[in-house]
Amino acid sequence: MPDAAALTIEDLVAGYGQVTVLQEVTLAARPGTITAVLGANGAGKTTLLRTISGLVKPRAGRILVDGIDLARRRPEDITRAGVAHVPEGQGVVTELTIEENLRLGGLIRSGGAARSAALADAYQRFPLLAERKRRLAGTLSGGERQILVIARALMAAPRVLLLDEPSLGLAPRMVTQVMDLVRRLRDDAGLTVLLVEQNARSALAIADHGLVLNLGKVVAAADAATLSADVALRRHYLGF
Amino acid sequence: MQEFLEFTLGGIATGMIYAAIALSLVLIWRGTRILNYSQGGMAMFTTYVAWLVIQHTGSYWAGFAVALAAGLVLGSVLEFAVVRPTENKAPLNAVIVTIGLLILLEGLAGIIYGGQYRSFPAAFSIKGLKAGSVGLGISPNDVFTAAAVLGAAVILALVFRYTSVGLRLRATAFAPAVARLLGVRIGRVLTLGWALAGLFGALAGVLVTSSTFLYPNSMDSIFVLGFTAAVIGGLDSPVGAVVGGIVLGVVLSYAGGYLGSNLVLVYGLAALVLVLMIRPTGLFSSGVTRRV
Ligand SMILES: Nc1ncnc2c1ncn2[C@@H]1O[C@H](COP(=O)(O)OP(=O)(O)OP(=O)(O)O)[C@@H](O)[C@H]1O
Ligand SMILES: [Mg+2]
């Protein structure tokens, strides 16, 4: 039922310069679900997220969020339309304090009251950040930074959350925490999540659906359980 | 001892002018990584606007206020119309554009106002202040100059630190790509940076010209010294710009006072070369490397 989808991508083509990376990628994510985007290095996962959030201009295709086509809009406008992108390698602003990083995420909310409420929410949900709010974000560990960038993305009250390898480089205990957090965002806040992961096993463990990219093409799309059970697919593309 | 006091206070007062120019350069550098070679021209141009208003109204303060407003407008118009098209082009394009702007502004000023030297009024008395019988080497107008720049710098610091506009300005300076992804409209923020730079340039122009003369190239040497102050401060740091301005002002005042005042610009260039040799990132730069 594509009409009911929070995020629909139709025949998306995108790349860099002469190089075409995404070749007619299509997907539909229902509201309140996690879709794992999987594939080997260089498959085009990051490019897909960057195209959705407007950092890469699509050459063709549509990107519908709640039925509105956002393709070819500017990144800042796409964010304002309710899509939050937590990029690969995080993007904490290390020169700003933790609180300033959070406030930055909430600036697109209109009104001081909404911003303050969002900040209070963030501190309640992540006490770790509340304790250190006056410290520079550069003093946080990798795992703490990952929590901060997700919390910062949530400050904008997005409907769609794009997460690029949130577990990259984290200790196993932090990976579990981050995955738990993503699951709770779906269950409690009803967020629609696109979760890019190298770690296919842990992504599929919390995802509702999965999408496997290879050389910029969708080679499999099914519910998470089906993908997990497909031994050939796992061996071929997912490496577990 | 008496001389030393005079040179020190006089140096601080002049240094605040360099600080204002340095701040204007830092505001643009932080946001866009562009060194605005037209900053002196912009300051000169808005000073002519002040001069015109003072001629017509007879009010120094009307001229002062209009110059600051003109600085804001000129900065934003130039960013929007001239600099923005060089975005995403090679950095050299921006350099050429701002040098071209300088030539354009100085040429326009020559056409509109002529090339002759004009005197520009001071806000307050330029008679030397005394503490008892000891001359201080500065006038009430120098005190006003220092206070005006310092006041503007403090307001800027408060805006940076405590307002959401300031947060946008800082985030854009540190991490433009991240700011964009969080919905910050980078284009507007950059325009604002140029507008504020125009304001500080206008402030410097109006304040310094009362002790020099107004002509199309009148800000050229002040620009070089303001640039030196900015480099001393690290180009990145507003606090560094102010401190750099004061340090340079005082050092040049000693050099001019004790070694002879004809070569102040040469001393300034020597200071610039020295700083670049000893500490290329400046004394206050936060970043280890300069992003280009
Ligand atoms: N800025 C760029 N310019 C040119 N080519 C690029 C650029 N970024 C990525 N590519 C190419 O696009 C292809 C897809 O890269 P992408 O980063 O989307 O893959 P990925 O699936 O995210 O990989 P990884 O798992 O390593 O993060 C690769 O072949 C890569 O070399
Ligand atoms: Mg990637």
Dump pLDDT digits (tens) for B111-164.
999 999 999 999 999 988 888 888 888 999 999 999 999 999 999 999 999 999
The CA distance from B178 to the nearest CA of chain A, in Å, is 6
Average pLDDT over residues A25-54: 95
Does B261 map to a domain?
Answer: yes
Residue B236 C-alpha to ligand 1 middle, in angstroms? 32
- When pLDDT is averaged across residues A126-151 and rounded to a whole number, the result is 93
pLDDT at A192 over 60: yes
A45 CA → ligand 1 middle, Å: 8
Cβ of A96 within 8 Å of Cβ of B179? The answer is no
* Contact between B216 and B78 (Cβ < 8 Å): no
Query: What is the reported pLDDT for B281?
Result: 72
User: Does residue B286 lie within any of the structural domains?
Assistant: no
Please tell me the distance from the alpha carbon of residue B89 to that of residue A92, in angstroms, as a whole number.
27
We report the CATH number of the domain holding residue A173 as 3.40.50.300
Output the average pLDDT for chain A: 92
Q: Is A91 on the interface with B (CB under 8 A)?
A: yes
CA distance A109 to A97: 20
Contact A107 B286 (CB under 8 A): no
Say which DSSP state A88 is in: T
With a 6 Å cutoff on the Cβ, whether A44 touches ligand 1 is yes
Q: Evaluate whether A215 touches A44 at the Cβ level (below 8 Å).
A: yes
* Centre of ligand 2 from the C-alpha of residue A37, in Å: 10
Contact B167 A55 (CB under 8 A): no
- Cβ–Cβ contact A51 with B under 8 A: no
- Which chain B residues contact residue A55 at CB under 8 A? 177, 181
pLDDT score at A3: 52
- B290, part of any domain: no
Q: What is the pLDDT of residue B290?
A: 39
How far is Cα B124 from Cα B167, in angstroms, rounded to an integer? 36
Residues A106/A118, Cβ–Cβ less than 8 Å: yes
Q: Measuring CA to CA, which residue among A55, A74, A75, A51 is closest to residue A63?
A: A51
Q: How far is the CA of B214 from the centre of ligand 1 (A)?
A: 56
Q: Annotate B43-75 with DSSP letters as a single string.
A: HHHHHHHHHHHHHHH--HHHHHHHHHHHHHHHH
pLDDT at B285: 64
B247-B20-B217-B292 Cα dihedral, nearest 10 degrees:
90
HSE, CB side, 13 Å, CA atoms: give it for residue A34: 26
Alpha carbon of A90: minimum distance to chain B alpha carbons (Å): 9
The encoded tokens of residue B193 equal: 């940076």
Query: What CATH number does the domain containing B183 carry?
Result: 1.10.3470
- pTM > 0.90: yes or no: no
- Three-state secondary structure string covering B256-291: HHHHCHHHHHHHHHHHHHHHHHHCCCCCCCCCCCCC
Q: In whole angstroms, how far apart are CA B71 and each of A153, B39, B106, B174?
A: 37, 10, 15, 25
Full residue range of the structural domain in which residue A57 is found: 7-88+159-238
- Residue B288, in any domain of the structure: no
Smallest-distance ligand from the CA of A87: 2
pLDDT attached to residue B52: 96
C-alpha A50, offset from chain centre = 10
State the pLDDT at residue B228.
Answer: 92
The answer to whether residue A125 scores a pLDDT higher than 60 is yes
Q: What is the pLDDT of residue A162?
A: 97
How many interface pairs between A and B have CB atoms less than 8 angstroms apart? 58
Please answer yes or no on whether B183 and A76 come within 8 Å at the CB atom: yes
Q: Which residues of chain B have pLDDT under 50?
A: 287-292
Q: Cβ–Cβ of A55/B181 closer than 8 Å?
A: yes
Is A209 touching B (CB cutoff 8 A)?
no
Task: Please check the confidence at residue A85 and state whether its pLDDT lies above 50.
Answer: yes
Buried b (16+ CB within 10 A) or exposed e, B238-249: bebbbbbbbbbb
Distance A12 CA to ligand 2 centre (A): 17
Q: Which of B164, B174, B185 sits opposite A93 (nearest CB)?
A: B174
Contact B179 A103 (CB under 8 A): no
Min distance A58 CA to chain B CA atoms (Å) = 17
A76–B171: do the CB atoms touch at under 8 Å?
no
Number of domains in chain A: 1
Query: What is the per-residue pLDDT for B287?
Result: 47
Residue A77 in any domain: the answer is yes
**Per-residue model confidence (pLDDT) at position A153:** 95
Token pair, residue A210, equals 């999965």
As a three-state string, the secondary structure of A122-190 is: HHHHCHHHHHCCCCEHHHCCHHHHHHHHHHHHHCCCCCEEEEECCCCCCCHHHHHHHHHHHHHHHHHHC
Task: Using DSSP, state whether A39 is helix, strand or coil.
Answer: coil
Chain B interface includes A31 (CB < 8 A) = no
Number of domains in chain B: 1
Give the domain range for residue B225: 2-278
Q: Is A47 in the pocket of ligand 1 (CB under 6 A)?
A: yes
pLDDT of the residue at A50 = 96
Residue B133 lies in a domain: yes
